[in-house]
């Protein structure tokens, strides 16, 4: 029995999905006073990078951003320090991210990238780290 390599789907590559997130974060507007030196989309993408890299804290991510290539991999022009990230993101409503989540989730569904995670009656069982999150439909 021969082993087949999975079909390459460029629209589901890490670069394509990160680009989808970047453009989605840029489309979600939120009023900010003054002339901010760090774009809201950069702050949001930095927060995503922190979670996807499983940094244990903002301080640990802050150290990682100065040592690594977070800007290049995630397409962030300016990564905020931990204090700036809190100041920028704390006032934002998490509900504003739901349409982007649904858009990315839909792209993964259409690309059949989640088929192995179908659990019961078309629901998905997704885990993050050591904890299980609710099933999505």
pTM: 0.75
Quick check: is 83 in a domain?
Answer: yes
48: in domain: yes
Nearest to 46 by CA among 8, 74, 17, 16: 74
Residue 98 lies in a domain: yes
Model pLDDT for residues 64-73, shown as the tens digit of each residue: 777 767 888 8
Instruction: Kindly state the greatest CA–CA separation across the chain.
Output: 64
Residue 55 lies in a domain: yes
CA distance 2 to 30: 52
Q: 5-23: per-residue pLDDT in tens?
A: 556 567 788 888 999 999 9
Domain that holds residue 110: 10-27+36-132
In a domain, 1, yes or no: no
**Residue 101 · residue 112 · CB < 8 Å:** no
């Amino acid at each position: 029995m021969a082993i087949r390599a999975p079909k390459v789907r460029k629209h589901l590559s890490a670069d394509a999905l990160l680009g989808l997130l970047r453009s989605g974060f840029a489309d979600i507007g939120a009023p900010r006073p003054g002339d901010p030196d760090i774009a809201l989309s950069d702050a949001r993408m930095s927060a995503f990078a922190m979670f996807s890299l499983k940094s244990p804290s903002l301080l640990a991510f802050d150290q990682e951003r100065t040592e690594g290539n977070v800007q290049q991999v995630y397409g962030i022009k300016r990564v905020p320090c931990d204090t700036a990230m809190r100041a920028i993101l704390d006032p934002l409503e998490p509900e504003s991210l739901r349409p982007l989540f649904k858009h990315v989730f839909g792209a993964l569904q259409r690309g059949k990238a989640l088929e192995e995670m179908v659990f019961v009656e078309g629901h998905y069982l997704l885990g993050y780290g050591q904890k299980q999150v609710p099933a999505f439909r």
